[in-house]
Amino acid sequence: MLIRGRAGLAVNKPTEPVPTGWVWVPVNSVARQETGHTPSRSRPEWWGGDIPWIGIRDARLHHGGVIYDTLQTTNPLGLANSSARLLPKGTVCLSRTASVGYVTVMGRDMATSQDFVTWTCSEALVPEFLVKALIAEGEGLRKFGKGTTHTTIYFPEIRALHICLPPLAEQKRIVAKLDTLSAKSARARNELARIETLVSRYKQAVLRSAFLGQMTSEWRTRNAALQTASDLIDCTPTPPQPRGGRDATDRVIQGKAALAVNTPPRQAPPKWQWVPLSRIARQETGHTPSRSHPEWWDGDIPWIGIKDAGAHHGRIIEETIQTTNEEGLANSAARLLPAGTVCLSRTASVGYVTIMGKPMATSQDFVTWTCTEALVPKFLMYALMAEGDDIREFGKGTTHTTIYFPEVRAMQICLAPLEEQHEIARRIEAAFAKIDRLAKEAKRALELVGRLDEAILAKAFRGELVPQDENDEPAEKLLERIRSERQATPKAGRGRGKV
């Protein structure tokens, strides 16, 4: 049965035309094909020697490259008491079971497990060319195997595996060209991948700039008639706070931007004012209705848990994974909070921030602030986000940090004038949208680089990547010459392990 690969490999010989000087040949006619074995694990004296032994993890770590060192080693006793064999440097290894498709080249003499098929190339086949041919198939290599959940390429297919073989000189030109192009695409991938990792840093820099008063400093100068934060606070009634609980701490913790525990030494930007959050927002927490009462759950009241906050970090939340009902609220300390309430996860996963898009309840893992007219909810949300992971400094504990209520009750915010709060939120969202667009473009470009690599490999095995040279000895003539030379040489006995 013919199974045509994506590029230069097939099970059995295709009938399609080939480039000038190329020829379809069985891989085992130009390379000695073998497999490996695993010395018994019950015999520790067969392990830990000086003979590298390639397993699947090694192949994964060195996919597409040369392998010099392995995670496990065997010794002459291990080889003598198993079907494993020491194979020469330059042998090509393909994982054919468990994780199909990892390809590597031995950088020195090694043995392998039975999860591999190996080819020790003759002078007609450049090992690196075989490696590129195998990599060019990609996931398509699984077509040569059987099984869905766990694919294995069995030896009847391996013995029938063919390669479209160019002249030897052209093989070397193809390998050199692919190596050059691969190095360039690797650099491109690295640079594009850096953008994705830098996105959170860019956003954090935007937030810090905003809440240190730098983002809107010129805007503030142009709007000299702004009502100051101090005047805004003076004309805002203090919201009622829940009674009970522990008193506020008296220790001072300066945040990285516009938050602190108690009044910090950092001076506020012009027209801004440090103020206790409890002066301009009602601070509460939540609760979890008893799980032993299923009738208190699955109602029409959204109930925010840690997973919800993680999924909606930095955004307005409209729907939650779990819901409660009036009975659940009546029988717990949970309370229905109004739309616009800002939620901060204070335990388990500290630092998730979201804003309620409609009335909701929360678990006890949150502290919530229902803002007065002096505080824009998005301004508070972004101020909390501006602290980033450093918000943990307001809490206690190393493995599992929790921000306790003495610190929450003493929390202060550096409040901007009301118009400036709106302007800061608008500018942050515009900057985030731009950063997200760039990240999306980088991700798209990264995908295109991957497709370009595939296209280049396909082109290489169509004979279109490098110029052909009419002076190259055609592959068929090379093979005829090698066969003649072999016929003139006495045959050596078959070595153990050949398949």
- pLDDT, tens digit, 9 for 90 and up, residues 47-94: 999 999 999 999 999 999 999 999 999 999 999 999 999 999 999 999
Note the pTM of the prediction, 2 decimals: 0.72
Question: Do the beta carbons of residue 270 and residue 226 sit within 8 Å?
Answer: no
Residue 196 pLDDT grade (very low, low, confident, very high; cuts 50, 70, 90)? confident
**pLDDT band, residue 467 (cuts 50/70/90):** very high
| 28 pLDDT higher than 70 | yes
Average pLDDT rounded to a whole number, residues 401-419: 95
Residue type, 396: K
- CATH fold label, 227-416: Adenine-n6-DNA-methyltransferase TaqI; Chain A, domain 2 (3.90.220)
CB 67 within 8 A of CB 104: yes
Q: Which residue has the tokens 């990264």?
A: 446
Secondary-structure percent of the chain, ordered helix, strand, coil, rounded to 5: 40, 20, 40
**Mean predicted lDDT score pLDDT of the chain:** 93
| Helix, strand, or coil (residue 396) | strand
- CA end-to-end distance (rounded Å), the chain: 20
Per DSSP bridges, beta strands 72-74 and 111-112 are: unpaired
Could you report the per-residue pLDDT of 348-399, keeping only the tens digit for each? 799 999 999 999 999 999 999 999 999 999 999 999 999 999 999 999 987 7
Residue 244 neighbours by CB under 8 Å, 6+ apart:
none
Q: Are 465 and 456 in contact (CB under 8 A)?
A: yes
> What values do phi and psi take at 297, rounded to 5?
-120, 170
At 450 the pLDDT is 85
How far is the C-alpha of 138 from the C-alpha of 301, rounded, in Å?
A: 50
Q: What is 292-353 written as a DSSP string?
A: T-GGGEEEEEEEE-HHHHHHTTTEEE---SEEE-HHHHHTSS---B-TT-EEEE-SSSTT-E
% of the chain beyond a pLDDT of 70: 98
CA dihedral sign, ordered 85, 89, 90, 95: positive
Non-local CB neighbours of 491 within 8 Å, separated by 6+ positions: none
β partners of residue 3:
11
Stretch 103-130: mean pLDDT, rounded? 96
Distance CA 244, CA 20 (A): 88
The whole-angstrom separation of Cα 201 and Cα 325 is 40
Q: Is the dihedral of CA 291, 318, 207, 255 positive or negative?
A: negative
- What is the C-alpha to C-alpha distance for residues 483 and 140, in angstroms, rounded to an integer? 32
- Which structure tokens are listed for 446? 């990264």
CB 275 within 8 A of CB 413: yes
Torsion angles phi and psi, residue 480, rounded to 5:
-60, -40
Nearest to 29 by CA among 129, 125, 114: 125
244, pLDDT greater than 80: no
The yes or no reply on domain 3-167+473-487 and CATH 3.90.220.20 is yes
